[in-house]
Amino acid sequence: MYDPTVARLTYRALLGRRRALILFVLPALLLVIAAAVRLLTGADDSTAEAVLGGFSLAVMVPIIGVVAGTGAIAPEIDDGSVVYLLAKPIKRPTIILTKLFVAIGVTMAFSAIPTLLAGFILNGNGGQLAVAYTVAALVASIAYAALFLLLGTITRHAVVFGLVYALIWEGLFASLISGARTLSVQQWALAVAEKVTGGEAVASEVALPTAVILLAAATVLATWYAGQKLRSLTVAGEE
């Protein structure tokens, strides 16, 4: 279920000049903020939690997920080059899964690694915060990549809708409306981080079993439906 050629082309598309700039800017900004905060305030658990939770998990991870998830397939659909890919003797589920694996890998690399480094800079992993938020970034990367890959297959405005979900739904509505937090990838990831810290430094509005089920369901369903949409694109191209 993995095609090296599709993976290579997807990596090349994601790490092109424009997208690579976005992918590098946010992690670099996180590390600069972490270093500045450490110099100004010293090692402090509450400050580390605020930076890692308020910027890394709430802003950086979803935006990188949008760039990687939508960028894995949306440009090919927009410019019509996906027809050439679909004409190859490659199973459609293999194309989707390969692009998903690439999107997940890119999202993890550009979000989890900087999060871990920032956590150690901020407080040396005090209270297991660096590890907890790194794990949260890893699991969130999987769900975000799948959801935004799906958006890339169903709309030409995938980036816009992805940013609306990531920044407005999760950043605004989920912070104001308690019921909306249940449908927040960020809260699902926080539930995992809460387990890592023992519930002392990180808290989530969603229970861990519910969060795990929702993370798995969102990833599987989004991937499956993206495959269905790709099948319909195949039919249209063949016709």
Kindly report the number of other CB atoms within 10 A of residue 238's CB atom.
9
Q: Is 173 exposed, middle or buried (0-12, 13-18, 19+ CB in 10 A)?
A: middle
What stretches in the chain show pLDDT beneath 70?
17, 174-176, 178, 234-239
CB distance 163 to 35 below 8 Å: no
Determine the residue type at 152: G
Q: What is the pLDDT of residues 28-66, one digit of tens each?
A: 999 999 999 999 988 889 999 999 999 999 999 999 999
User: What is the pLDDT at residue 111?
Assistant: 96
Whether this model's pTM surpasses 0.85: yes
User: What is the pLDDT at residue 214?
Assistant: 95
User: What is the pLDDT at residue 175?
Assistant: 66
User: What is the pLDDT at residue 174?
Assistant: 66
